[in-house]
Each structure stands twice: as C-alpha cells, then as structure tokens.
Amino acid sequence: MAENGTDCDQRRIRMSKEQHNGNFTDSSMLSERKRREREERLNIVLWKKPLVTLQYFCLETLINLKEWTTKLWRRRGVLVCVLLALAALTALYYIEGTHQQYVRYMEKKFFWCAYWVGLGILSSVGLGTGLHTFLLYLGPHIASVTLAAYECNSVNFPEPPYPDQIICPDQETAEGSISLWAIISKVRLEACMWGAGTAIGELPPYFMARAARLSGAEPDDEEYQEFEEMLEHAETAQDFASRAKLAVQNLVQKVGFFGILACASIPNPLFDLAGITCGHFLVPFWTFFGATLIGKAVIKMHIQKLFVIITFSKHIVEQMVALIGAIPSIGPSLQKPFQEYLEAQRIKLHHKSDGAVPQGENWLSWIFEKLVIAMVCYFILSIINSMAQSYAKRLQQKMYSEEKTK
C-alpha cells in the first residue's frame, strides 16, 4: 500500500512538472511571438514602407471615425444639447447690440486659452511622440515678454496688437520699475492653460489602466503590459530605469494624493507610469486629476516660468552675449548675430503704427523657424506611423484570435 501511495505521489509530481513545463513553454512561445510582432510593427514607418504605412493609416483613421460616430450616436441626447447650445451662442454672436463688446472680449480670451490648452495636450498626450510645445511655443513667448518688459520698463503692452505683436506703450516709465512678479502675472494665464492641457493629456493612460483593471481584459497597450511585467519582476529589478519606475509606482501607491502631486510638480518623463499606476489601483478620478492639475498647472508652471524669466532677464542676456564674444577666435563672429537679433527686437518694440516697419531677417530667427517646422513635421509623421502600427496590431490580434478558434 505504501509503495502504491508513493507511486501515486510520484506520478502526481511528474504530471505537475509536465504541466508546469508545458505552461512555461507556452508562455515563452507567446513572449517570443509578441516580441516578433512588435518588431514587425516597428518596421511599418513611412521611410521604410511608405505605401503600406499610408494604407494602414487611412484604414485606422476610418475605423476610429466609425467608433467615434457610434459613441456619439449612443450619446445623441448630449450631442443634441451641445448643438442647441452652439446654435444659441452663434445667434448671440451675430445679433447686433451692446453685448457685442463683451462677446468680442470673451471670444478673444476663449481662443487664446483654447490655443494654449491644445498645445499642452499635444505636448503631453503625444500620439506616439510628444510635441515639445513648451520649448517651441510657450518658452519663446515668455522669453519675448521678458525681454520686452525690461526694454519697455512696463508690461502694459497695447492690445491690439498684443499678443500677436509686442510693442512698447506710449507712456514713458522710469527705468528699473519692472518687477519679476509683474512679468509672472503677465504670462500667468497662458502658462496655466498650457499646464492644464498637459494635465488633460495625462488622462488616457489613467482611463486605459482603470478600464483594464475593472473589466479584467488585457488592454491593447504596450506600456500597460510593461507595467504589469514590472510588477511581476519588482523584486529582481536591478537597472536604474526599472528602479526609478518602481520608485514612482511606490510613491503614488503609498502616498496617494501628495505622491501624485509630487510627481506632477517636477519635470518627470515617467509620469505616464503614475497615470497607469493610479488607474490600475483604482485611485479615484478627482484624486488623480486634481493632484495632476495642481502640480502641472500651478506648481510646475511657476517653476518653469521663473527659470525662463530669470534666464532671459536683461542683465543675464547681456552677460551671455558678452561670454559668447569672449570665446577665442570664433567669439566675435558668433556674438555678432546675437547682437543684431537683440537690436532688431529693440527696434520692433519701439516701432509705432505710423512708422516704417524694419525689414530684414536674422539667421537665428530663420533657424528657429525651420526647427519649429521640422519638429511639427516629425510630429505629424509620428502620428501617421503610430496609427499605421495600431492597425497592424489589429491585424495581428485578429490572426491570433482566428488561430485560437481553430
């Protein structure tokens, strides 16, 4: 009897090992297949497979339009209310009356705020790669206001043409009367709107992870899959990147609101992980979004504003130009275009509407304009590539489902 019992135990252990080995083999094959499919998708880019990429992009666009149309139809009651509100606002906009001055003022503020919120969303949500709109738009705007404020000794720029063009006001002000706080206040609205846009752009990872946790389904997102793998191998993580991600995840999970606030208040390339962590652990929406909004639109934006304003203050800029001129051999030739650019900006600031507009273009502004165009083009190309790869993933998942049903 003992021998029979021992034989049964041995057979059970052997069967358990075989089952474990089979599961391990299946898991390895699945991981290898996912790796292969990921490499295939990454090769679907415009500079390698232009026709396939454009075809997949168009098909993915049509699928997304169909999905959005279906969602709007399901919420047709809300859609009708929105359309009625828009019709009422349109009528109010075109009907003449004493209210038109307030309508024009609200229109100007609305489009100004929407412009910066949109740039903030583009910088954060990325759609495959983030467009660095702070470096390309908000930072230069704050720098222009700072330089103009020190040159004009005022921030009361005439409106119009401000913010499209900055010129000094007619009234003379005493030199040195401009303060750091006055410049901060002048650019506060656009900076906070940009920060609010970046906070809105952090919502997709949160909602994706939250929906995946509640439904129990595997999400169609590689970052979330990497997050789950990171949780599984948390104890064996050795490299710096993995430890940094785990630190963010632990901070958000254990500290809650103030942990999210701390991550959102500093420039943090790993903040997407904070959104995924909050969604995965079902952190309430207003806890996550409230902390993110305060951190990005208030704390972080004031830090970034102070940095730009101090960097482009009059004495710092003059010292930087002087240091460039002190470089041996090439210093004077490098210093000249910077001096010409600053002098051209001073002339523009003191330009009056009845005078002649100074003509000519500095090569620094020309390079910056071309850099902006290049980065916007790259951003558009990355969207096309990302959507084409999304469609390729749909095809791979469809093929895998068909294989499982056979």
The residue to which tokens 């041995």 are assigned? 10
pLDDT recorded at residue 219 = 55
Q: How far apart are the first and last CA of the chain?
A: 45
DSSP string, 100-148: HHHHHHHHHHHHHHHHHHHHHHHHHH-TTS---HIIIIIHHHHHHHHHH
What single DSSP character describes residue 268?
Answer: -
How many Å separate Cα 90 from the centre of its chain? 32
152's CB contacts (< 8 A; 6+ apart) are 168, 169, 173, 349
CB contact at 8 A, 120 and 133 = yes
| Rounded Cα–Cα distance for residues 262 and 277 (Å) | 15
Profile the chain (406 residues) by mean pLDDT over runs of 10 residues: 45 46 59 78 86 90 90 88 90 84 86 90 63 80 87 80 77 70 89 91 82 65 57 56 66 77 76 74 86 90 88 78 77 74 70 48 69 80 85 83 73
Upper half-sphere CA count for residue 102 (Cβ side, 13 Å): 6
Per DSSP, 195 falls in state H
- State residue 239's pLDDT score: 59
| 397's tokens | 């998942």
Give the Cα separation of 159 and 166 in Å (integer). 9
- What six digits make up the tokens of 351? 């330009």
Cβ neighbours of residue 271 closer than 8 Å, sequence gap 6 or more? 202, 248, 263, 264
Q: Give yes or no for a contact between 119 and 138, defined as CB atoms under 8 angstroms apart.
A: yes
Give the whole-angstrom CA distance, residue 27 versus residue 29: 5
Looking at residue 295, the DSSP 8-state letter turns out to be I
Q: 175 in helix, strand or coil?
A: coil
CA distance 148 to 381: 36
Residue with tokens 């999905």: 67
Residue 221 DSSP symbol: -
The CA distance from 317 to 312, in Å, is 6
SS3 217: coil
Cα-based angle 128, 134, 140 (whole degrees, multiple of 5): 140
Closest CA to 150 of 24, 315, 306: 315
d(CA 163, CA 115): 12
161 by Cβ neighbours in 10 Å (0-12 / 13-18 / 19+) ranks as exposed
The 8-class DSSP code of residue 218 comes to: P
Amino acid code (one letter) for 298: V
Nearest CA among 299, 373, 314, 310 for reference residue 346: 314
